[in-house]
Amino acid sequence: MSKKGFLLVLMQPPANMEEEFNAWYDSEHLPERLAVPGVETAIRYSSIAGVPDYLAIYDLKDKAVLETEAYLRVAGDRSSPWTKRVTGRTNVYRSVGDQVYPGDALTPVASRVTIVRFRGLPASAQAGVVKVMRTAFEGRPSTVGVRVFAYPVGGKVDYIGFVSSGVPDDAPVDPRIFSEFYGAIDLFNTYVPRPR
């Protein structure tokens, strides 16, 4: 089975730029990315509480999509002046890699998504991260999908658990499930889809 790629971006624009940030994202950035062959979905979310305020997830045919000429025409130094203006003033965490669990799922329609980020782990932690994400979330009636992404950075891996829920779910998660990874979790946040 070939693994789908992903691009996941967490963003915190300055308060005085939030209206422009959302206008740019909805009218220029998202349509630009969806026009690139191999970008299969692009969905934006807003935080329920906590920061970063914004999340975007892009499902990719594979991560090599971000190396194609079609993508490079609208990225990096070739980005539009508006993109450079907005991203130059926004705090951004950008992660790219493979969907390691289940490997080939697309982002489903969901009323909530929960992100659990495990920073700076060895690649050997992958099976353990997948196990704790499945244990914590797959048995919940609200869960419509659990995925785990791997973003290699600096010789380590940031693993990102991405849980899609069909209805709001405020049931607590048993913290003992994550005990092996307490020191690596630096983000545990819930987001709602942004209207288009």
Rounded distance between C-alpha atoms, residue 77 and residue 131, angstroms: 40
Rounded distance between C-alpha atoms, residue 35 and residue 134, angstroms: 33
User: Which pLDDT score, from 0 to 100, does residue 195 have?
Assistant: 83
The β-bridge partners of 159 are: 118, 150
Domain count, the chain: 1
Mean pLDDT of the chain: 96
The pair of three-digit structure tokens given for residue 116, joined into one six-digit string? 């659990």
Q: How far apart are the first and last CA of the chain?
A: 33
Res. 158 pLDDT band, cuts 50 70 90? very high
Range in 49-53, 61-65, 192-196 the model is least confident about: 192-196
The pair of three-digit structure tokens given for residue 28, joined into one six-digit string? 């220029």
Percent pLDDT > 70 in the chain is 99
Mean of the pLDDT values across residues 5-18? 97
| pLDDT tens-digit readout, 167-183 | 988 888 999 999 999 99
- HEC-encoded secondary structure of 100-134: EECCCCCCCCCCEEEEEEEEEECHHHHHHHHHHHH
Rounded distance between C-alpha atoms, residue 150 and residue 129, angstroms: 10
Residue 187: phi, psi to the nearest 5?
A: -150, 130
User: Which pLDDT score, from 0 to 100, does residue 50 have?
Assistant: 87
pLDDT over threshold 70, residue 1? no
| CATH code for the domain of 12 | 3.30.70.100
Compare 50 and 100 and report the one with higher pLDDT. Answer: 100
- pTM score over 0.85: yes
**Alpha-helical segments (H) within the chain:** 18-24, 30-34, 69-72, 81-87, 126-137
Rounded distance between C-alpha atoms, residue 185 and residue 122, angstroms: 14
Domain with 143, as residue range(s), is 5-193
Mean of the pLDDT values across residues 121-150? 97
Q: Strand 112-121 relative to strand 156-165: parallel, antiparallel, unpaired?
A: antiparallel
Rounded distance between C-alpha atoms, residue 163 and residue 101, angstroms: 11
| pLDDT tens-digit readout, 89-114 | 999 999 999 999 999 999 999 999 99
pLDDT over threshold 80, residue 120? yes
User: Which pLDDT score, from 0 to 100, does residue 49 have?
Assistant: 87
Mean of the pLDDT values across residues 25-45? 97
